[in-house]
Amino acid sequence: MSDPKADNEALVRGLLRMVGEDPQREGLKDTPMRVVAAWKHWCQGYQIKDPGTLLKTFEDGADGTDEMVLVKNIEMYSHCEHHMAPFFGVAHVAYIPDKKIVGLSKLARVVDAFSQRLQVQERLTNQIADAIDNTLSPIGVGVVIEAKHFCMCSRGIGKQGSTTVTSALRGAMKRIGPARAEFLSLVQGSGKS
C-alpha cells in the first residue's frame, strides 16, 4: 500500500528535477514536505463541502433592516486552475437583508472557502454570490472581485499592471437600477482602505 504523503513529496522532487534542480541539495531537502503542507493550506476550501453553512444568521437585529450591507476589501488568495499560478486581490461583498442578517466575518469565511480551491475568477465570483443568495434569501446580493493573476503578469503576455474585475449580482441588485448603482458606487467610491 502506498503512502500518500511520500507519494506527494516524490511528485515535488520530480518537479524540482524537471526545472533543473537537485532535490538533494541542502536548501531543497525539506522543500517537498513544505510544498505539500503549503498546498494543503492553499486548497483547504475543498474541506468545506457547503460553504453556505458558514453563514450564521440572526433574526435579532434585522428588524427594519432593508438597506445594503457591504464588506469591502476582503483579502482573497487563490490559484488558477489553468496554470496553478496564484491570483490574489480583494472581494467586495454586499447583500440587502430580508428578515435576517449574517455575522460579517462569515462573509469573509465564504470568500476563503471558495477561493482556497483551484479556481477561475469568474466562477469564484458567482459561487460566493450564489452561496449568500441561497442561504440568506436576501433582497439582493452583489459581489465584485478585483485580482491580479500571475499567469497574466509573470509569464505569457507579461502585463504586470493588469487587474481583472468580475461581478455577480442577484435579486434587486441585478434587477433594480438604483440598488445596482448604489452597490457599484459604494464599491468604487472610497477606494481601497
Q: Which of 9, 92, 146, 149 is catalytic?
A: 149
Q: Which of 80, 116, 127, 146 is catalytic?
A: 80
C-beta separation of 98 from 140 below 8 A: no
81 is catalytic: yes
Q: Which of 79, 121, 127, 182 is catalytic?
A: 121
Q: Which of 44, 47, 75, 81 is catalytic?
A: 81
127 is catalytic: no
Grid cell at residue 173: 441588485
Contacts of 146 (CB under 8 A, 6+ apart): 89, 90, 92, 163, 164, 165
Helix (H, G, I), strand (E, B), or coil: what is residue 167? strand
Full strand arrangement of the beta sheet holding 69-80: 118-119, 69-80, 86-96, 140-149, 164-171
83 is catalytic: yes
- Tell me whether residue 150 is exposed, middle or buried, using C-beta atoms within 10 angstroms of its C-beta: 0 to 12, 13 to 18, 19 or more: middle
43 is catalytic: no
Phi/psi for 27 (5° steps) reads -70, -15
In whole angstroms, give the CA distance from residue 43 to residue 89. 17
Residues with catalytic annotation?
80-83, 121, 149, 151
